[in-house]
Amino acid sequence: MNPSLTSVRVDALPLLTISVVILGLVALLPLPAHAAEERLVGDVMVGSQEVERNVSTGAGDLEVRGLVENDVHSGFGDVLVGGEVRGDIDAGFGDVEIEGPVEGDVRAEFGDVFVNAPVKGDVSVGWGDVDLGPEARISGNLECESCEITGNRGAVEGHMMARGMALDFDESHEPGILGFVGWLFAALAFAACAVLAAVLAPGPLASAARRAEESPGRAFVYGLVSLPVFFVLCVVLAVTIIGIPLLLLLVPAYLALLFFGALVASFFIGTRVLMVTGRYRVGNALAAVVGAMILAGTTFIPVLGDLLPYALSLLGTGAVILALFSRRRPRASHPSYEAYVRDRAGG
C-alpha cells in the first residue's frame, strides 16, 4: 500500500447532527413574510381577547384561547383549543386537545386526540388514541385508522368507524373482526412487497440488514435523526422558491426510504428467526415473509403496539443510511442463508 495515500472514513452521524443544528438555526431566523399567527417554525398563541383569521405553524405548539375565524393548521407540535375555532383543525404530528367549540372538522394524523367540547364536523384520527370527555359532542362521524376510543362514546351522534386494530366499544380491548381483516390484508400486502424486495434487490437488502446486525443502536440513531433532518430540509426548500422542485422530489424519496427501511427491518427479523430455528435453507423470500408478518404482528402488543413498528422501521432506515454513507464494506453479504451458514461454519 502506498503510505502517501490515506484511507478516510466518513462518519455521517456528526454530519447529520451538525446539519440539524445549522439548518434549524436557519429556519428559526425571522421571516418577515409571515405574520405571527402563521409561522413556519415556532409556537403560536392566540390570546383570550384576540381574533385571528387563520392560524398555522410548521413546527411548534399551537394554543387557541381566543377566536379563530377560519382554520387551524399544525405540522409538528401539539394543538390546544380552549377558545373557539369556526373552521377546521388539521394536525400532522402531535396531540390535539379540544376544550372549546369547533364548527368544522378535526383531523389528526399522528397523535392522541382529547375532545371535551362540541365539534360540529367529523373527527378523523390516523395513528393515535381518542378520549371523549363528559362535555364532548361530535355531530359528525368519528373515524380512526388505528386507535383506541375511550370515555364518553355516546357523544358521537354520527357513525363510529375504524379501519385499524383496537376500536374499543365494550372495553374488551380486542380488535373487531373488520379491524382484523383490514390488518390481515395490509400485512399480506406488506409481506408481498418484502418478497419483491428480496427477489429484485437482494444485495442492498442484505447489506442494510447486515448493518442492522452489526450496529443496531447506531442504526436506530441514524434513522431517528433522519426525521428532523428531513423536516428542516423541507422547511428550507419551501422558503426558497427555487427549492420547491427539489422539495417535490425530496418528500417521495424520503417516504420511499422509510418504506425500504421497514422492509430491511422485516428482512433482518426474518433472518434471525430462521437462523434460530435452523430453517435457513428455505431462502430469502420466506425470510422476508416471516419478518414482515412479525413486524405487522407487533401492532397487537399492548402499549408498545403503537410505537414498536415505527421504531423497527427507523432501525431499518438507519441501517440503509449506514450502508449508503459508510465506505467500509460489511463483513459479509450472502445471497442466501445457506451461504451465510456455510461461511460461518467455514470460519
Given this model, what pLDDT does residue 180 score? 62
Given this model, what pLDDT does residue 115 score? 93
Counting as low any pLDDT under 50, the low residues of the chain are 1-36, 164-178, 330-333, 335, 337, 344-345, 347
Given this model, what pLDDT does residue 37 score? 66
Given this model, what pLDDT does residue 59 score? 75
Q: How would you label 196-235 residue by residue, b for 16+ Cβ within 10 Å and e otherwise? A: ebbeeebebbbbbbbbbeebeebbbbbbebbbbbbbbbbb
Given this model, what pLDDT does residue 279 score? 59
Cα atoms in the Cβ-side hemisphere of radius 13 Å centred on 327: 5
First and final CA of the chain: distance in angstroms? 26
- Cα 17 to Cα 42, 76, 133, 149, 327, distances in angstroms: 20, 19, 41, 38, 19
Given this model, what pLDDT does residue 88 score? 93
Packing angle, helices 337-346 and 244-277, rounded to 10: 60
Say what the pTM is: 0.54
Contact 43, 58 (CB under 8 A): no
Q: Which residues pair with residue 68 across a beta bridge? A: 52, 85
Residue spans per domain, the chain: 37-162, 177-346
